[in-house]
């Protein structure tokens, strides 16, 4: 018995055209390419293991932050590659370069003019950066306008301090035309004040930093910003903060009064291409390092999202609303990131697979029905011919009988699952109907 269904006599299937064959080949190649890409992505390491961060000057506030982040990230297998810089402006320029290897950095609020094309995002505001002005002499200075005609250190090129100090002095009409503005680092500025080469100097940093400790315990005077409220109005990126009395030394009562200072905000910023899982790890590190109370803020003030310098990372918004993602809360980071990455591939693949599994029975049924429909069409064609031909010859009737018996024989050879046998017998009933019709025609012809 033949294993394949024979071709029908009356209705022949058109052969596949060259264009259709080419189209099917292209579809198969595209499908293979997509599956290959998906497999390569699935086998690729789940996540990078190194973050390159641009920090700040050696022994500076930003370098100190980065040094504290490094061991926290190391617990999750992430190496923080710390690169020094000249400061906030330098960090901004590095991060906005799309070809640079730098991915994360600290930027001081108010030191840049962000653009939509920067492709940067704020992970969090992490700390106040107090701005200190120390000066020499017996006269009390509490307004920047009093520094006209003085020798003033204003920071180093590439630093946020240089930008902020020049803006603040400009508000008070202190310029290079009526004062001597010198660009130098903190240590040289301190030595210049002590030696008398400088009259005043701008500094930035936390009170517990080495240079700040030297300054606060020296005989130099700390300026109280009497116009702080007005300056913050003109320069919204700054905040007004209070350095409490005796914060330096309770024994010596230093300082002897509360001192009003201005402060920039340190922002942890990244390229918007940084992997979301790494953003969550950096947020955890920032919370550990900056979440405590200090001279200027109560417990839990930092990190926060109270900044408008750069767009806020979506992951940061979710983190401050509901914490780390579910898997990262209960699984080791490497395992959580592995599962999350694989899910990006497995979920759509499983959805496709389930869809195919659901569609497969219908496709099989349609295929089987199609095999039966071909023979139904043959029968219908033969029956229509018997009705159209009102005066058939004996030879024509004999031909019809041969055809109907041939269809019956072929129908008996159709190989289909048992559950479709009723469809086969329905086909045989249809064959019987046409056979009876031919017999009736034959009787009429004889009569």
106-122 confidence digits (pLDDT tens): 999 988 888 878 999 99
* Sign, CA torsion 136/141/144/148: negative
Decide if 227 contacts 141 (C-beta within 8 A). no
CB atoms inside a 10 Å sphere around CB 118: 18
- Long-range contacts: 360-369, Cβ < 8 Å, 24+? 368/416, 368/417, 368/420, 368/423, 369/423
Decide if 161 contacts 60 (C-beta within 8 A). no
Question: Is the predicted pLDDT of residue 308 greater than 90, yes or no?
Answer: no
Decide if 275 contacts 121 (C-beta within 8 A). no
Decide if 195 contacts 186 (C-beta within 8 A). no
pLDDT of residue 28: 65
- Pick from 63-67, 122-126, 399-403: least confident: 399-403
CA distances from 25 to 31, 32, 36, 289, 357 (A): 10, 11, 16, 58, 23
Question: Could you tell me what percent of the chain has a pLDDT over 90?
Answer: 50
Q: Which residue in 412, 415, 427, 432 sits closest to 372, CA to CA?
A: 427
Q: What angle do CA 66, 68, 72 make, to 5 degrees?
A: 105
Question: Is the predicted pLDDT of residue 41 greater than 80, yes or no?
Answer: no
pLDDT digits 0-9 by tens, 360-411 = 777 777 777 777 788 888 888 888 888 888 888 888 888 888 888 888 888 7
- Pick from 30-34, 281-285, 413-417, 425-429: least confident: 30-34
Q: Which residue in 404, 344, 332, 345 sits closest to 375, CA to CA?
A: 404
E strand or H helix at 381 = helix 333-388
pLDDT of residue 47: 60
> Can you tell me the mean pLDDT for 418-443?
83
> Can you tell me the mean pLDDT for 218-227?
96
| Cα separation, 221 vs 65, whole angstroms | 28
Decide if 385 contacts 392 (C-beta within 8 A). no
* Sign, CA torsion 352/354/356/358: negative
| Every domain of the chain and the residues it spans | 50-324, 345-446
Decide if 410 contacts 382 (C-beta within 8 A). no
Question: Is the predicted pLDDT of residue 84 greater than 60, yes or no?
Answer: yes
Give every CB contact of residue 325 below 8 A, 6+ residues apart in sequence: 280, 318, 336, 340
* Sign, CA torsion 296/60/218/146: negative
Query: Hey, which residues does 242 pair with through a beta bridge?
Result: 260
pLDDT of residue 14: 46
Here the tokens at position 310 are 């750069």
Here the tokens at position 75 are 């617990």
Between 381 and 231, name the one with better pLDDT. 231
Q: Using pLDDT thresholds of 50, 70 and 90, give the confidence band for residue 32.
A: low
3-state secondary structure of 159: coil
Q: Is CATH 3.40.190.10 correct for 50-324?
A: yes
Q: Using pLDDT thresholds of 50, 70 and 90, give the confidence band for residue 58.
A: confident
Decide if 107 contacts 320 (C-beta within 8 A). no
- Pick from 75-89, 236-250, 355-369: least confident: 355-369
Burial letters 122-142, b for 16+ CB under 10 A, else e: bbbbbbbbbbbbbbbeeeebe
pLDDT digits 0-9 by tens, 257-305 = 999 999 999 999 999 999 888 999 999 999 999 999 888 888 989 999 9
3-state secondary structure of 134: strand
Q: Using pLDDT thresholds of 50, 70 and 90, give the confidence band for residue 4.
A: very low
pLDDT of residue 395: 87
Give every CB contact of residue 175 below 8 A, 6+ residues apart in sequence: 169, 181
Give every CB contact of residue 350 below 8 A, 6+ residues apart in sequence: none
- Long-range contacts: 365-369, Cβ < 8 Å, 24+? 368/416, 368/417, 368/420, 368/423, 369/423
């Amino acid at each position: 018995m033949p294993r394949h269904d024979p071709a029908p006599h009356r209705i022949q299937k058109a052969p596949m055209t060259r264009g259709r064959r080419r189209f099917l080949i292209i579809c198969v190649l595209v499908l293979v390419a997509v599956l290959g890409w998906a497999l390569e992505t699935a086998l690729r390491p789940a996540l990078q293991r190194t973050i390159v961060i641009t920090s700040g000057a050696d022994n500076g506030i930003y370098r100190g932050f980065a040094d504290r982040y490094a061991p926290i990230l190391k617990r999750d297998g992430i190496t923080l590659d710390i690169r020094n810089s000249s400061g906030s402006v330098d960090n901004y320029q590095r991060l906005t370069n799309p070809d640079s290897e730098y991915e994360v950095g600290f930027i001081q609020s108010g030191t840049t003019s962000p653009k939509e094309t920067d492709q940067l995002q704020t992970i969090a505001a992490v700390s106040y950066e107090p701005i200190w002005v120390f000066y020499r002499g017996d006269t009390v200075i509490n307004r920047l306008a009093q520094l006209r005609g003085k020798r003033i250190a204003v920071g180093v090129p590439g630093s946020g301090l240089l930008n902020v100090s020049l803006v603040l002095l400009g508000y008070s009409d202190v310029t290079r035309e009526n004062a001597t503005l010198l660009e130098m680092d903190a240590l040289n500025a301190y030595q210049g004040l002590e030696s008398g080469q400088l009259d005043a100097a701008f500094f930035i940093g936390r009170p517990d930093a080495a240079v700040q400790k030297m300054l606060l315990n020296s005989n130099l005077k700390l300026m109280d910003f009497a116009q702080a409220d007005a300056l913050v109005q003109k320069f919204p990126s700054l905040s007004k903060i209070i350095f409490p009395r005796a914060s330096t030394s309770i024994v010596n009562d230093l300082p002897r009064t509360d001192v009003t200072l201005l402060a920039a905000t340190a922002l942890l910023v990244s390229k918007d291409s940084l992997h979301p899982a790494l953003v969550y790890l950096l947020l955890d590190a920032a919370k550990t390092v900056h979440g405590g109370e200090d001279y200027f803020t109560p417990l839990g003030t930092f990190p926060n999202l109270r900044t408008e310098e750069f767009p806020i990372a979506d992951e940061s918004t979710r983190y401050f609303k509901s914490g780390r993602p579910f898997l990262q809360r209960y699984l080791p980071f490497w395992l959580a990131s592995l599962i999350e990455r694989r899910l990006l591939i497995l979920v759509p693949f499983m959805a496709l697979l389930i869809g195919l599994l659901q569609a497969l029975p219908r496709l099989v049924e349609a295929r089987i029905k199609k095999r039966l429909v071909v023979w139904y069409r043959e029968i219908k064609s033969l029956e229509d011919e018997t009705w159209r031909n009102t005066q058939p010859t004996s030879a024509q009737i004999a031909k019809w009988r041969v055809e109907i018996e041939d269809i019956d024989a072929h129908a008996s050879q159709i190989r289909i699952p048992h559950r479709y046998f009723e469809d086969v017998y329905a086909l045989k009933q249809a064959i019987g109907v046409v056979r009876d019709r031919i017999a009736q025609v034959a009787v009429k012809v004889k009569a």
